[in-house]
A and B are shown apart, each in its own frame.
Chain A
Amino acid sequence: MAQGPRHRTRSRLTAAALGVLCVLASLTPLTAQGSGVEGDVAVVVNTDVPIDNLTLGDLRRLVLGDKAFWPGSVRVTLLIRAPIAHERDVILKVVCQMTEAQFRQHWIARVFRADSAVAPKIVYSAQSAAELTAQTPGAITFIDASQVSKNMKVVKIDGKLPGENGYLLR
């Protein structure tokens, strides 16, 4: 059966709409599962944390335990991926400027000095990091930007989000 002009017009409109959606999706980072730039590491916090932007210095103090409270005296709970994970590598290299061994020694020494009672908590997958961050008041974690979903609160680092030019955590 031959297709009429009306049917062809509808097909073209559908194709055009799909094309526009694809373009929009590619221009809107971090709005849906699987968006964002793979390789960039997003800093994700519990939605109650009253922070939208952190400097690299703030983030370093959080990861190394020098800063243990958010504004409002909510205690920080640091969730960090287990060794070998890309997110952990980026945080140790860019934020802490430490090797894995140095990072471990830093935290052992910190607890031994009585500066902190609790060391960072280890998470073994991005999914578990996201779930625990959502459940835990004051939690902060690091997730590959490609796995960030729209219900997560992503914090800017020095005013930039993952995928933007000059974003540091990659």
Chain B
Amino acid sequence: MHEGGYNPPALMAAQFCARISRQLALVSALWLGLAAFPAAQQTQGPPQSTADAASAHAQDTHAGPPATSAEYPSLHLAGFGNIDFADQDKAEGARGFSEGQFVLHLVSSLSPQVNVFGELSLTPRADAGTGSPAATGFNAEVERFIIKFDQSDQLKVSFGRYHTPINWWNTAFHHGQWLQTTISRPEMVQFGGKFIPVHFVGALAEGAFPSGGWNLNYQVGVGNGRGNVISRGGDAGDNNATPAWVLNLFSKPDLAFGLQVGGSLYLDKISLVGQPEFRERIVAGHIVWQHEDPELIAEIASVRHEQIVGTLTTSNLAYYVQAAYRLPAFNRLWKPYYRFEHIDIDSTDTVFAGIPNLDGSTLGVRYDISTYAALKTEGRWRQRVSGQASMNGWFFQVSFTF
């Protein structure tokens, strides 16, 4: 740990960089918007004479009468939900039965190339009915709210509130528990967690490079970064003059269909009340084999905090490895899985104060009771401090989409 004193030249340099960075962000956002503008002008779409496959969720049961022409806006609604049961020897969360999140997903096409996506969640509160006025039973949250302009496969531009594309899990599964194999998310991407910024408010450009069979993709974003509460994005505005930047590159090679390999970089300035300001740099990588026999997911992220006025620099590391296998017998309905995860927090990091270390294992099995509902059960063993007893628990969940 290194403490530094007041340093005017460094402060001026930081302010200059912040100004340049803010102007760059503005120019980038304008450029992104202008690039996508012609796409927004096109309003004639192809006739939609058949049922949408997944927007109705069921290509056989939910498909309504065929539409005969495209009408805009066209709103489709889908839902995700889960009911949980937990039995733990030391409670870190709910015990007994609990309602999971009630999630509504909305997608509306405004034209063939302009779409709006929304994700709303209702989460039960442990303090419901207490306080004055009494706390409500559920927290309502706009998890994602995105307007997207699809110019081509090479350029899609969007604005809104995202799940930060710095972590594969964070953007692959969102709040739909049914979509993920396991009950729990890795702790490094826990909702409400602090290790990585789960949400991001800003602008994002994404697309595919012409790269033959390598299928290289990019995502570049600029936004508000972490808010005053570092587990939250800056929904109502940035809390400092320096925007956050995110770059994500990944490949899905044709020769190994199902494989995705990628890495990302996230840069931000963290301003917390009563604390010095820090630069944050996150470097992350992932490798995913998306088939189910087997399914392999491994991610790692290093978070570095560097005090702007001072010399304190800290580094934190987290990773997980998850393997699952869809058993070929029993109509391919059973899928056992295992995950190991590790979080190592620098004890001198004041930004991450309160985040516990972790060495944890999760062993479970998923049973798909129907195409759109799954039963999952898993055991978790978590050790927070080396040498101390681990926390054990057994969990059950029914998750579904509707």
Interface residues of A (CB under 8 A from B): 55-57, 60-61, 66-69, 73, 75, 77, 79-80, 82-83, 97, 99-102, 104-105, 107-114, 117-124, 128, 132, 135-139
Contacts and interface: CB of A to CB of B under 8 A. Distances in A.
A89 B53 CA distance: 15
B152 A136 contact: no
B151 A111 contact: no
A89 to B, nearest CB: 14
B215 A66 contact: yes
Interface in B178-220: 179, 208, 213, 215
Given A60-B257, A114-B117, A117-B117, A97 B50 contact: no
B146 to A, nearest CB: 6
B368 A111 contact: no
Contact of B50 (A61, A108, A123): A123
Nearest to A99: B332
A92 to B, nearest CB: 12
A93 to B, nearest CB: 13
Given A107-B54, A109-B179, A117-B115, A139 B213 contact: no
B52 A119 contact: yes
28 contacts: A57-B215, A57-B254, A61-B215, A66-B208, A68-B150, A69-B150, A69-B152, A75-B150, A80-B53, A82-B60, A101-B332, A101-B371, A104-B53, A104-B58, A104-B59, A105-B179, A111-B107, A112-B78, A112-B176, A114-B115, A114-B146, A114-B148, A119-B54, A121-B48, A122-B52, A122-B63, A132-B50, A137-B46
Contact of A112 (B108, B158, B179, B215): B179
B46 A75 contact: yes
Chain B CB count within 10 A is highest, among A57, A112, A119, for: A112
Interface of B: 45-55, 57-60, 63, 78, 80, 105, 107-109, 112-113, 115, 117, 119, 144, 146, 148, 150-153, 158, 171-174, 176, 179, 208, 213, 215, 252, 254, 257-258, 291-292, 332, 368, 371, 401
A111 B47 CA distance: 20
Tell me which of A69, A104, A117, A122 has the highest count of chain B C-beta atoms within 10 A of its own C-beta.
A117
A38 to B, nearest CB: 25
B117 A120 contact: no
B112 A122 contact: no
Contacts of A68: 150, 153
Contacts of A75: 45-46, 112-113, 150
Contact of B47 (A69, A109, A132): A132
Nearest to B44: A137
A118 B153 contact: no
A108 B401 contact: yes
Contacts of B173: 109
A106 to B, nearest CB: 8
A77 B46 contact: yes
Nearest to B144: A114
Contacts of A99: 332
Contacts of B158: 114
Nearest to B146: A114
Tell me which of B109, B148, B153, B176 has the highest count of chain A C-beta atoms within 10 A of its own C-beta.
B153
Contacts of B117: 114, 117
A103 to B, nearest CB: 9
Contacts of B55: 111, 118-119
Nearest to A137: B46
B292 A102 contact: yes
A112 B213 contact: no
A82 B51 CA distance: 10
B368 A101 contact: yes
Nearest to A73: B152
Contacts of A61: 215
A73 B176 CA distance: 32
B151 A122 contact: no
A121 B53 contact: yes
A82 B150 contact: no
B159 to A, nearest CB: 12
A77 B176 CA distance: 26
Contacts of B60: 82-83
A77 B109 CA distance: 14
Contacts of A117: 107-109, 115, 117, 148
